[in-house]
Structure 1
Amino acid sequence: MLSKSKKDDKTGVLRLFWVFIAIFLFLQILMLVLYPRIYWDSAVYIGIAKFLFSAGHLGFMEIIRPIGLSLLIGPLWKLGIDVILASRILAIAFSILFAYSTFLLGSRVFNKETGLLSSVLVMTTSSFFFWASQPMTDIPSITFCILAIYFLLGKKYWLVGLFSSLAFLFRWPSGLVLAVCGLAMAAATLISLPRGNYKAQIKKNRKNTVGGEGKFYSHFFPLFVSILKMLIAFAIPVMMFMAFNYAIYHGETAKVSHALFRPWILGIWHQENPAEAIHGIYANLMYYLFEMARQNFLLLLSIAGLILLARAKFWEDSNKTALMASFLIFFSYYTYIGNKQPRFLISFLPFVAILSAYAILHFTRNQRILPAPPKFMPLLVTIFVIAAISGAALNVPLVMDSANYNPGFKKGLNKAFANLPFGTKIITNTPVPAAYLDYLFVPNYYSQEGYYQAFATDQKAGGLVYISAGITCFRKDIDCQNTDDEFLQILLQRFNLIAVLSDGERPYYIFSKDETLPSLNDKYLLDRAVTLSRIPYGGNSIIVLRMDNAAGVYREDGKGNIWKAESFSRILNDLNSTPLTLSIIPADLLELNNSSLDLLRSYISTHDIAIAQNGFSYHDYGLGSEFAGRDYASQWNDIEQGRNIIEDKLGIVPLAFVPPYSSSDKNTLKALASLGYIIYSSVPGDPIVADEYGLKRYDQGISMVKDWASMKNKDADALISEYEASWPVKPYVLLAFQHFNFETGDFASLVSFVEYAKDHRAQFMNLDQLHLWLGFLDGVQLTASDNNIGINVSPEIQEKYPDFATAVTLSIKASVNMSVSTNLQSIILLNSASKPITVCLPECTIIDAGNYMRFQQIY
Structure 2
Amino acid sequence: MRSVGTIRICNVCDSNWRPRADDESVSTNRTGDHNSQIDLTKYRRRSTNQGRWLAGVRKRIGTQLTAAVILLLIVGVGLGGATLSTSLLADNTDDSLAPTDDQEWTEYETIAVFRNDDIQPWYKTNTRRAVDRVFIEEDVPVTLGVIPAVNGADSPITDNGRTCGYLRSLLTEHPGQFEIALHGYTHDQRTGFYNGSEFGGIDPATQQQWMTTGTEILRTCTGVTPRTFIPPLNTYDTGTVEAANTADYRTISGGDWFTTQYYNETGIFAAGGLVHASEGASFVDWERDELHSQAELQAEFNDSYESNTLHIQMLHYQSFDTEADREKLRQLIRHIKSTDTAFLTVDQLTTGLQSGNIRETEEGWEIREPLEPPANSPDRLEEPSGIDRLLSVRAVS
CA separation of 1:580/1:781 partners in 2, compared to 1, >3 Å: closer, same or farther?
closer
Q: Is 2:36 aligned against 1:274? A: yes
Cα deviation, residue 587, structure 1: 0.7
Residue number in structure 1 paired with 2:237: 665
- Check whether the contact 1:627–1:665 (CA below 8 A) recurs between aligned residues: yes
Deviations 1:439-478 (A, max 9, x none): xxxxxxxxxxxxxxxxxxxxxxxxxxxxxxxxxx775443
Distance 1:673 1:767 in 2: 16
Residue number in structure 2 paired with 1:545: 114
- Number of aligned residue pairs: 300
CA separation of 1:61/1:658 partners in 2, compared to 1, >3 Å: closer, same or farther?
closer
Distance 1:581 1:479 in 2: 21
- Check whether the contact 1:274–1:474 (CA below 8 A) recurs between aligned residues: no
Cα deviation, residue 61, structure 1: 6.8
Cα deviation, residue 698, structure 1: 0.7
Q: Is 2:176 aligned against 1:611? A: no
Secondary structure of 2:60's counterpart equals coil
Q: Is 2:263 aligned against 1:696? A: no
Secondary structure of 1:725's counterpart equals helix
Distance 2:341 2:360 in 1: 24
Residue number in structure 1 paired with 2:248: 676
Residue number in structure 2 paired with 1:568: 128
Residue number in structure 1 paired with 2:223: 651
Cα deviation, residue 610, structure 1: 0.8
Residues 323-338 of structure 1 mapped to structure 2, 5 A cutoff: none
- Check whether the contact 2:112–2:344 (CA below 8 A) recurs between aligned residues: yes
Distance 1:643 1:578 in 2: 25
Distance 1:492 1:641 in 2: 43
CA separation of 1:611/1:492 partners in 2, compared to 1, >3 Å: closer, same or farther?
closer
- Of Structure 1 and Structure 2, the greater helix share is in 1
User: AA paired with 1:490?
Assistant: R
Q: Which runs of 5+ in 1 are unaligned?
A: 1-59, 64-248, 276-472, 495-523, 553-561, 785-797, 806-859
CA separation of 1:802/1:755 partners in 2, compared to 1, >3 Å: closer, same or farther?
closer
Q: Is 2:310 aligned against 1:732? A: yes
Cα deviation, residue 488, structure 1: 5.3
Distance 2:166 2:287 in 1: 28
Distance 1:629 1:673 in 2: 17
- Check whether the contact 2:238–2:272 (CA below 8 A) recurs between aligned residues: no
Deviations 1:233-268 (A, max 9, x none): xxxxxxxxxxxxxxxx6xx533359964521xx221
User: Higher relative contact order by CA 8 Å / sep ≥ 6: 1 or 2?
Assistant: 2
Residues 189-338 of structure 1 mapped to structure 2, 5 A cutoff: 253-256=17-20, 260=26, 262-263=28-29, 266-270=30-34, 273-275=35-37
Distance 1:734 1:714 in 2: 16
User: AA paired with 1:757?
Assistant: I
Deviations 1:785-822 (A, max 9, x none): xxxxxxxxxxxxx9xx88359xxxxxxxxxxxxxxxxx
CA separation of 1:600/1:756 partners in 2, compared to 1, >3 Å: closer, same or farther?
same
Secondary structure of 2:115's counterpart equals strand
Distance 2:360 2:295 in 1: 38
Distance 1:643 1:708 in 2: 34
Residue number in structure 2 paired with 1:764: 343
Deviations 1:301-352 (A, max 9, x none): xxxxxxxxxxxxxxxxxxxxxxxxxxxxxxxxxxxxxxxxxxxxxxxxxxxx
- Check whether the contact 1:489–1:526 (CA below 8 A) recurs between aligned residues: no
Residue number in structure 2 paired with 1:626: 198
**Greater Rg, structure 1 or structure 2?**
1
Distance 1:593 1:708 in 2: 35
Q: Is 2:147 aligned against 1:585? A: yes
Secondary structure of 2:32's counterpart equals helix
Distance 2:26 2:18 in 1: 11
Which residue, out of 713, 718, 729, partners 2:296? Answer: 718
Distance 1:662 1:575 in 2: 23
Deviations 1:737-777 (A, max 9, x none): 11112122111111111111111121111111111222234
CA separation of 1:525/1:737 partners in 2, compared to 1, >3 Å: closer, same or farther?
closer
- Check whether the contact 2:142–2:344 (CA below 8 A) recurs between aligned residues: yes
Cα deviation, residue 695, structure 1: 0.2
- Check whether the contact 2:165–2:222 (CA below 8 A) recurs between aligned residues: no
Distance 2:300 2:247 in 1: 35
User: AA paired with 2:271?
Assistant: E
User: AA paired with 2:107?
Assistant: G
Distance 2:281 2:300 in 1: 7
- Using the size of structure 2 for normalisation, the TM-score is 0.65
Residues 458-857 of structure 1 mapped to structure 2, 5 A cutoff: 476-479=41-44, 490-491=52-53, 527=60, 537-552=106-121, 562-576=122-136, 577-588=139-150, 590=157, 593-607=160-174, 608-623=177-192, 624-687=196-259, 688-689=262-263, 691-707=270-286, 710=289, 712-742=290-320, 743-777=322-356, 803-804=370-371
Distance 1:493 1:674 in 2: 37
Distance 1:61 1:739 in 2: 25
Distance 2:51 2:183 in 1: 36
User: AA paired with 2:198?
Assistant: E
User: AA paired with 1:755?
Assistant: R
CA separation of 1:676/1:62 partners in 2, compared to 1, >3 Å: closer, same or farther?
same
Cα deviation, residue 644, structure 1: 0.3
Distance 1:477 1:601 in 2: 35
- Using the size of structure 1 for normalisation, the TM-score is 0.32
User: AA paired with 1:527?
Assistant: R
Cα deviation, residue 600, structure 1: 2.4
- Check whether the contact 2:109–2:308 (CA below 8 A) recurs between aligned residues: no
Residue number in structure 2 paired with 1:451: none
Distance 2:144 2:12 in 1: 34
Q: Which runs of 5+ in 2 are unaligned?
A: 1-10, 68-87, 90-104, 151-155, 264-268, 373-397
- Check whether the contact 1:563–1:592 (CA below 8 A) recurs between aligned residues: no
Distance 2:108 2:148 in 1: 35
Identity %: 20
Task: Please report the RMSD computed on the Cα atoms of aligned residues, expressed in angstroms.
Answer: 3.8
